[in-house]
A and B are shown apart, each in its own frame.
Chain A
Amino acid sequence: MSKNTLNLDTSGLDELINKLKKLEGDVKGAVTDALEQAAQTVEEDTREAVQPQYLPAHGKYQGKEKDTEKAIVTGAKATWHGTTAEINVGFDYSKPGAGGFLITGTPRMKPDKALQKIYKQKKYMAQLQADMGAVVSDYIREKMEGG
């Protein structure tokens, strides 16, 4: 399976969750939505990043089977472990493909720039975290204001 996961920890929000329950709010549902929307974004960006124009040698070694593209985690669903929800993103390493090679590179091949932006640079992940936070806080605000 994928070794990249996104997660959101809701511990410390117990009081708020209970208040929202009285207002028929579903914070868990909002967090699940936030994670699944973020995973969808990662999936689309990863799919774009493995298109020939972004690959080393412009996809010359991609092969007709497009195993790397097929190994992208698609339609991932969030799972809950106590107060933490998580979701798999990236490449499913149990399938054939060069996702791992492309992210880390090899001594003879530089890492792939488009995938590096997604999986290795702080800015991309920080933006995802901010987007997930906005989905949850918008939902809470809406419920609190009687929406």
Chain B
Amino acid sequence: MEDALITLLSTLKYPVIRQGGLAQSQAYPDTFITFWNNDDSEHSAYDNQTASAEVSFDVNVYSNSPANTYSVLKQARDLLKANGWIITTRAYDVASDEITHTGRGFAVAYLQTQNL
């Protein structure tokens, strides 16, 4: 699911990075997206086999333009929703290491029924 998430978010044309993946010496891109896989839980089972799994992620947008932080977050949310992802929390502030950037995030889940 992580690959699918990265592929979708990359269509927004901003760098997509795993949360915590930026090196201490690396500069923040002007606007970028981070993600983190919070959980991968069995959702249902049939005949002692997993029938579906709930995979949940945090998706965060950081930008040196506060307007972009909000607008790109909405674009990302709309994009994932249109592709079958479930938005479980619409938005919240997230901490930035850099005073130049603001961050906002949302929580998203996918009910995986294939390639389990």
User: Does B36 sit at the interface, judged by CB under 8 A?
Assistant: yes
- A70–B34 Cα gap in the complex (Å)? 29
In the complex, what's the smallest C-beta–C-beta distance from A67 to chain B, in angstroms? Answer: 14
Q: Which of A27-35, A81-89, A118-126 lies at the interface? A: A118-126
**What is the minimal beta-carbon distance from A41 to any residue of chain B, in angstroms?**
19
Q: Once bound together, how far apart are the Cα atoms of A101 and B96, in whole Å?
A: 8
Q: Which residues from chain B sit less than 8 Å from chain A, CB to CB?
A: 17, 19-24, 28, 32, 34, 36, 38-39, 41, 54, 56, 58, 60, 62, 92, 94-97, 103, 105
Among A100, A108, A121, A122, the residue within 8 A (CB) of B20 is: A108
Residues of B within 8 A of A100 (CB): 94-95
Least distance between B39 CB and chain A CB atoms (Å): 5
Across-interface contacts of B36 in A (CB, < 8 A): 104-105, 110-111
Give the CA-CA distance A3 to B20 in the complex, in Å.
23
Given A111-B19, A111-B20, A122-B54, are A106 and B38 also a contact pair (CB < 8 Å)?
Answer: no
Contact with B along A88-122 (1 / 0, CB 8 A): 00000000000011001111111100001000111
Give the number of residues in A that approach B within 8 Å (Cβ atoms). 16
* Contact, CB under 8 Å: A105 / B20: yes
Contact between chains at A105 and B19 (CB < 8 Å): yes
- Find the A residue at minimum CB distance from B26: A108
Complex CA–CA separation, A26 to B28 (angstroms): 56
Is A104 a contact of B22 with CB atoms below 8 Å?
A: no
A109 to B23, CA, bound (A): 9
Contact status A106-B24, CB under 8 Å: no
The docked-state distance in angstroms from the alpha carbon of A108 to that of B34 is 10
Task: Identify the 3 closest CB pairs spanning chains A and B, nearest first.
Answer: A110-B20, A120-B38, A107-B22
Give chain B residues whose Cβ lies under 8 Å from the Cβ of A120. Answer: 38-39, 56, 58
A104 touches B20 (CB 8 A): no
- Residues from chain B with a CB closer than 8 A to the CB of A107 are 17, 19-22, 28, 32, 34, 62, 96-97
The residue from A3, A110, A122, A123 contacting B19, defined by CB atoms under 8 A apart:
A110
Q: In the complex the two chains form, is B96's CB within 8 Å of A106's CB? A: yes
